[in-house]
Amino acid sequence: MLDQIKQQIEHIKGMGATYVDTRWYPIEETNTLTMWNGNLKEATFVRESGIGVRVLYQGAWGFSASSDTNDLAGLYIKAFDNARIAAERVTLPVRLAEKDAIQARFASPNRINPMEVPLAEKVAFLQQMDKKLNQSGVSQRITSLNFIRKQIIFVDSEGSEIEKQITEVFAQLSVMGQDAQGEMHERSFNLGQVGKNTRGWESIDLQLFSENAERIVGELNEILVAEPCPKDDRAVILLPGIMFLQTHETIGHALELDRILGYELAYAGGSFVTLEDFGRLRYGSEKLTARADATLPNSPGSFGYDDDGIPAQNNILIDEGILVGAITGRQMVEEANAKARRQIFNGSGGANRATAFYRVPIERMTNINIDPGVDGDLGDIIASTERGLVMDGARSWSIGSNREQFHFATEIAWLVEDGQRTRVVKNPTYMGNTLEFWNSLSAVGNESTWKVEFVPNCGKGQPNQIMQLGHGVPTCRFDHVRVGE
């Protein structure tokens, strides 16, 4: 098969294409299980395989994909024809940044392949967790497992040949309960990075989940009898369970280069960031350093090589508060440099990924992380806060289409008064303008507060592409934030 792919690439190259690549997925498997109040609500196993071909001809892309690999020649000709027809209409010819030809392999670190674990063992885990969550105050309990395993073989006309074996494990526990006023509240636990080692089935650690099951039930019961969140201007101290979403929505999406160039306008929106802003815009206080780090060991945002065949990189996006980088791929960096009439980007940032063989790669977040800071642990940050709210758990979010402002509701919050964490409040919310908010960053927790949260379902692109990634974030404090509205 590999030889046939290489022959076809050569053939299309011979017809005048400037670039051809192929992503062959010999196998992709997805296994999802959900238990709702003790009943197995969902147990699906999906297996697919296929091949996707991109052809660049006279500055225009053509794409074709099929799960039928019997007529490879037809598939490549279709991609070529699509490019040829598109080339008649192209206004801005596509140029690709230079790259090295690479022969390599990558496998996400895992010990036990989750696809080989018997269904009975997975169901038994869900039942055990369901039992733990089935306690007073809890009216709805959900436990879920989601496994992805895919093999991707990338070959291009520039001499690259890369094989990837990606294994992802996601898991969630969630409890809901009704307070005396009839309002529903929720508390949940999502599996993130455990240690730095592996994330196969072995990361479904019974003790870890049991401890967290007990914790979220206890916290839900505190929420159920809590007073409402005050309407107020005060500091918010965001734990990683909400800090990851703040980073995702107001740094990650805002800094996708295709989005900045307007390619997501018809769907997810644009970005308030312009090409003039790179190297100049103050995006946050001096305490803010953010990066796109695809080299972080063991996270869904670490994948070895992107779908342009570019090696994983660790790129600074915001350097002590100044915007310096974006989430980029081969095509967009060239387009951005040309439009800005200056060299903003020096080659691809290695962030072009497709969700499946039948989608084209687009710029996707890798691990969009915030560096740990020097303001101590959570206790230190609370102790230095006069009036604040410690917030955790993403409940709902709404964000301006250009990411210029946001409103988030969290699952739980604790009041902070005179340096002491006091009681839980219910229905906590906070809102702000992106730049004003990041500029009010007044404390960044040390390594002990830093945690890698996983995102299994980031959506982008038309047709929609769901992507997996991570966020390594510390606990952070922001001053003078509007809360409770």
Binding site for Zn ion (CB under 5 A): 458
Q: Nearest distance from residue 249's CB to Zn ion, in Å?
A: 7
Q: Which residue's CB is nearer to Zn ion, number 399 or number 443?
A: 399
Q: Least distance to Zn ion from the beta carbon of 247, Å?
A: 11
The rounded distance, in Å, linking the Cα atoms of 278 and 436 is 18
- Give the residue closest to Zn ion by C-beta: 458
- Smallest gap from residue 182 Cβ to Zn ion (A): 32
Nearest approach in angstroms of CB 454 to Zn ion is 13
Nearer to Zn ion among residue 353 and residue 426 (C-beta): 353
Query: What's phi and psi for 291, nearest 5 deg?
Result: -145, 155
H-run or E-run covering 223: helix 206-224
Q: How far is the CB of 248 from Zn ion (least distance, A)?
A: 6
Nearest in space to 284 (alpha carbons), one of 482, 485, 476: 476
**Which residue's CB is nearer to Zn ion, number 175 or number 458?**
458
Long-range contacts of 81-90 (CB under 8 A, 24+ apart): 82/55, 83/17, 83/55, 83/56, 83/57, 83/58, 84/57, 84/58, 84/60, 86/60, 86/61, 86/62, 87/57, 87/58, 87/59, 87/60, 89/60, 90/58, 90/59, 90/60
**Distance from CA of residue 169 to its chain's centroid?**
14
- The C-alpha atoms of residue 392 and residue 375 are separated, in whole angstroms, by 19
Q: How far is the CB of 328 from Zn ion (least distance, A)?
A: 17
The residue behind tokens 């990041």 is: 438
What gap in Å lies between CA 384 and CA 219, rounded to an integer?
24
Q: How far is the CB of 251 from Zn ion (least distance, A)?
A: 11
Q: Toward Zn ion, which CB reaches closer, 114 or 456? A: 456
Residues sharing a CB contact under 8 Å with residue 120, sequence separation 6 or more, in sequence order: none
- Nearer Cβ to Zn ion (177/192): 192
Beta bridge partners, 398, equal 407
Nearer to Zn ion, 21 or 249 (CB): 249
Q: Looking up tokens 């991707």, which residue turns up? A: 152
Cβ distance to Zn ion smaller for residue 410 or 465: 465
